[in-house]
């Protein structure tokens, strides 16, 4: 018998007798990419919504109902501060009188904070810490007023107001931490931003405006 010629083309027989099979890679259909893109987008949206609605809320965040009496106290205080005479005290005596009048208003506001139950140990601890920071700052204002009053016969002597610093050991003023606490319950406590109540102002004109951040 004559030698058989191996078949040509894709049906070639290997020496081991196995046929060679080749399969072209199937291109991905456009709809597969669309589904994948949609899936990724949905996952991203879910992460963002989860963080916004749940994850971004601090355990110290107050509910609208709990924050309401605190915000009301801040609004009442701001209205009372606006009504005080001499919003731009110039002389030392006038500044002392203005600071102490402001501190009486702010002291009444802080006293109302102490009457609020925030609803949980964590929230109450944070609220008490924030309230204490208000008291510390009012004490610093009174110290400034007392030093200013003591130098009334020394017109050239400069008295500097020093804000308390954060208890965490950082050098940033305590008012920064106080405002961070307000932001955690945004927008319920926006009336209590320290700038809206001019807490760190002991010299110059007072302008009481709404603050939202």
| pLDDT (tens digit per residue) in 56-67 | 478 999 999 999
Write down the pTM of the prediction: 0.74
pLDDT at 28 over 70: no
pLDDT at 27 over 90: no
Measuring CA to CA, which residue among 56, 47, 55 is closest to residue 184? Answer: 56
| pLDDT (tens digit per residue) in 67-103 | 999 999 999 999 999 999 999 999 999 999 999 999 9
Give the three-class secondary structure for 106: helix
Quote the percentage of the chain above a pLDDT of 70.
75
Calpha distance 202→140 (Å, rounded): 11
Which residues, 6 or more positions from 30, have their beta carbon under 8 angstroms from its beta carbon? none
Are 198 and 206 spatial neighbours (Cβ–Cβ below 8 Å)?
yes
pLDDT at 47 over 70: no
Rounded mean pLDDT, 177-188? 97
Calpha distance 207→142 (Å, rounded): 20
**Cis upstream peptide for 187 (omega within 30°):** yes
More confident residue, 34 or 185: 185
Rounded mean pLDDT, 51-59? 57
| pLDDT (tens digit per residue) in 129-148 | 999 999 999 999 999 999 99
């Amino acid at each position: 018998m004559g030698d058989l010629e191996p078949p040509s083309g894709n049906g070639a027989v290997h020496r081991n007798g196995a046929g060679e099979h080749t399969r072209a890679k199937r291109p991905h259909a456009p709809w597969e990419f669309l589904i994948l893109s949609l899936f990724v987008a949905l996952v991203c949206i879910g992460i963002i919504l989860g963080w916004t609605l749940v994850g971004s809320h601090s355990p110290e965040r107050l509910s609208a109902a709990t924050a309401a009496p605190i915000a009301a106290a801040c609004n009442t205080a701001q209205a009372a501060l606006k009504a005080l005479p001499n919003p731009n005290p110039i002389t030392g005596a006038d500044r002392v009188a203005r600071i102490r009048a402001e501190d009486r208003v702010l002291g009444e506001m802080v006293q109302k904070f102490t009457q609020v139950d925030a609803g949980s140990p964590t929230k109450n601890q944070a609220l008490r810490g924030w309230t204490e920071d208000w008291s510390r700052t009012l004490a610093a204002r009174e110290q400034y007023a007392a030093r200013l009053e003591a130098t009334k016969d020394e017109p050239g002597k400069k008295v500097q107001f020093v804000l308390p610093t954060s208890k965490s050991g950082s050098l940033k003023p305590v008012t920064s931490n106080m405002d961070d606490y307000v932001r955690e319950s945004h927008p319920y406590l926006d009336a209590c931003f320290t700038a809206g109540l001019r807490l760190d102002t002991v010299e110059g004109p007072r302008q009481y405006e709404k603050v939202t951040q």
